[in-house]
């Protein structure tokens, strides 16, 4: 998933960024709410992880602003506050879950997985459409009992398509989804990744499910008979 991680302490931010990236998420990690606000305006996230005690603008205020703007992605709040009233405050501001510091990495990853399952295409640890299944733990795509191993980037791209089936996705949207903030992919990076993913999908006879919308981008469109 594409995640926004906001934590003002680099000693806590960097390890969380690393572990979330290692399990396959694309993570924009920032230390202040102002940068987070700008990123939220530029990108669509699958999940926000917010520290409560941010300078100037708190994580709770940021969460409330996010919900007031009509954004619906799950929000996980991180904080040292652990009283019932604190939890109620965070949940009433729009948070979906709450994790008390110091953060246990195993529990964090479990909660991230649980919040990610709110996608309608998610069944267990698998994203599916028609008879095509992406196993997020093993990075394997499966159709009609045939499995193909994907690379991390190929899996991220297919996941992005599966979470937005039948939508026309521009090259810019895909760049923003697959590359972390501050990185500069090459001009043909999206086309190259789509070509590689199609090559992988040939083994399960689904390479033509990814349509090219000339001059715009791409769309995942399973044929009706695949259902």
Task: Enter the tokens of residue 95.
Answer: 């948070």
Strand partners, 219: 211
Fold of the domain spanning 122-220: Arc Repressor Mutant, subunit A (1.10.10)
Task: Enter the tokens of residue 49.
Answer: 């992880």
Q: pLDDT by residue (tens digit) across 173-205?
A: 898 888 877 777 788 899 999 999 999 999 999
- The residues, any chain, with a CB within 8 Å of residue 14's CB and separated by 6 or more, are 29
pLDDT at position 121, please? Answer: 46
Q: pLDDT by residue (tens digit) across 37-69?
A: 999 988 888 899 999 888 889 999 999 999 999
User: Per-residue pLDDT for 2 more than 50?
Assistant: yes
Architecture of domain 2-116: 3-Layer(aba) Sandwich (3.40)
Q: Mean pLDDT across the stretch 163-168?
A: 91
CATH 3.40.50.2300 range(s) for the chain read: 2-116
CATH 1.10.10.10 range(s) for the chain read: 122-220
User: Per-residue pLDDT for 107 more than 90?
Assistant: yes
pTM: predicted TM-score of the whole model, two decimal places: 0.68
| Spatial distance between the Cα atoms of 88 and 84, rounded to a whole number of angstroms | 6
């Amino acid at each position: 998933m594409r995640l926004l991680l906001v934590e003002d302490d680099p000693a806590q931010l960097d390890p969380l960024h690393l572990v979330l990236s290692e399990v396959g998420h694309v993570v924009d990690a920032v230390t202040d709410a102002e940068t987070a606000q700008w990123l939220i305006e530029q990108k669509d996230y699958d999940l926000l992880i917010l520290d409560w005690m941010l300078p100037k603008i708190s994580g709770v205020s940021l969460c409330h602003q996010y919900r007031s703007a009509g954004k619906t992605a799950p929000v996980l709040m991180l904080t040292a506050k652990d009283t019932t009233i604190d939890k109620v405050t965070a949940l009433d501001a729009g948070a979906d879950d709450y994790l008390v510091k110091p953060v246990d990495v195993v529990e964090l990853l479990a909660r991230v997985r649980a919040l990610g399952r709110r996608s309608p295409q998610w069944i267990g640890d698998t994203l599916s459409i028609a008879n095509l299944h992406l196993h997020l733990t093993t990075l394997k795509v499966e159709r009609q009992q045939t499995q193909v191993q994907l690379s991390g980037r190929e899996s991220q791209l297919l996941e992005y398509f599966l979470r937005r089936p039948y939508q026309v996705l521009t090259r810019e949207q895909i760049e923003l989804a697959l590359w972390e903030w501050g990185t500069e992919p090459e001009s043909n990076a999206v086309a190259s990744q789509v070509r590689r993913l199609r090559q992988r999908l040939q083994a399960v006879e689904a390479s033509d499910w990814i349509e090219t919308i000339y001059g715009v981008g791409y769309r995942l469109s399973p044929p009706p008979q695949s259902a």
